[in-house]
A and B are shown apart, each in its own frame.
Chain A
Amino acid sequence: MLEIGITHYLVVGALLFVIGMVGVITRRNVIIIFMSIELMLNSVNLNLLAFSRLYGLHGQVFALFIAADAAAEAAVGLGILIAFFRNRETVNVDEVHLLKW
């Protein structure tokens, strides 16, 4: 088998990003949309760490910041989800179209 380089990790990160993006676009359940967003953030982390193998430790610090961002986003998103479910008794995103033209 050939040697594992940085581009292998970039390909894996791109695959995870595409899977998360397809989940965000096609699913109706808002919980799974949030989990897909977490997966996309995680693939970005994988890319940053792969590049930090080439350019130094700054990529790992940025990955740490992205992890903090993911935690904040999950907290706010799940708070919105609970308020939404209390008002509408549904978790489907396409039934929320008050602001949609």
Chain B
Amino acid sequence: MTPVATPFFFYFLSGIAVLCAIIMVTKINPVHSALALIVTLLACAGLYLMLYAPFMAGVQIVLYAGGILVMFLFVMMLVNIESLYIEKMLNKQWIVALAATAMFAVMVIAGLLRGAKTLPQHVLDLPEQNNVQQIGLLLYGRDTGYYMFPFEIASILLLVAVVGAVVMAKRRV
């Protein structure tokens, strides 16, 4: 079986992801930003496939690009975007942004220069045929279900989020 993780696909997908992320941050119309963010998330789903995580790629497409971004577009219908073109786009914090970016760049470069040797040299042999089964065993298995309690906590978190969103968005009665 020929590997799918060729350098061409990696550079193609990551280039699309980074380019559309920059477009997302710099566009003034939030609808254009949302469309660019959808393209970024789809490119990231392709990168997940290259990392042998097909279940997370599917979750990415269905939940991020299909669910969350549609919710963003619905909210944009409720707020008016015509007035955005006459007021300025950025606030006066670009010095803070520059400093934060510089510190993050120093951190990443130092981490990669020093820590790249401490990573394991051999990648694991993750089978992609039973990826969903392995994740399901980690979540729900009788002996291997390490994450059953955090999964229940996540369900309670989602319930609280739904109730909170409805309470904050409803009209005052």
Report chain A residues within 8 Å CB of B84: 29, 91
In the complex, the chain A residue whose C-beta lies closest to that of B76 is A31
Q: Which of A17, A29, A70, A72 contacts B104 (CB 8 A)?
A: A17
Number of interchain pairs (Cβ within 8 Å): 223
Q: Which of A9, A25, A50 contacts B96 (CB 8 A)?
A: A25
Give A98 Cβ to nearest chain B Cβ, in Å. Answer: 17
Interface size, chain A (Cβ < 8 Å): 71
22 A-B pairs with C-beta separation under 8 A: A1-B8, A4-B6, A7-B116, A8-B10, A10-B112, A16-B21, A17-B104, A19-B22, A22-B97, A26-B97, A27-B91, A32-B30, A45-B60, A49-B53, A53-B52, A57-B131, A57-B135, A65-B147, A71-B161, A74-B68, A78-B72, A94-B91
- B residues within 8 Å of A by Cβ? 5-8, 10-11, 14, 17-18, 21-22, 24-25, 30, 33-34, 37, 40-41, 44, 47-48, 51-53, 55-56, 59-60, 63-64, 67-68, 71-72, 75-76, 78-79, 84, 87-91, 93-94, 96-97, 100-101, 104-105, 108, 112, 116, 119-120, 123-124, 126, 131, 134-135, 138-139, 146-147, 150-151, 154, 157-158, 160-162, 164-169
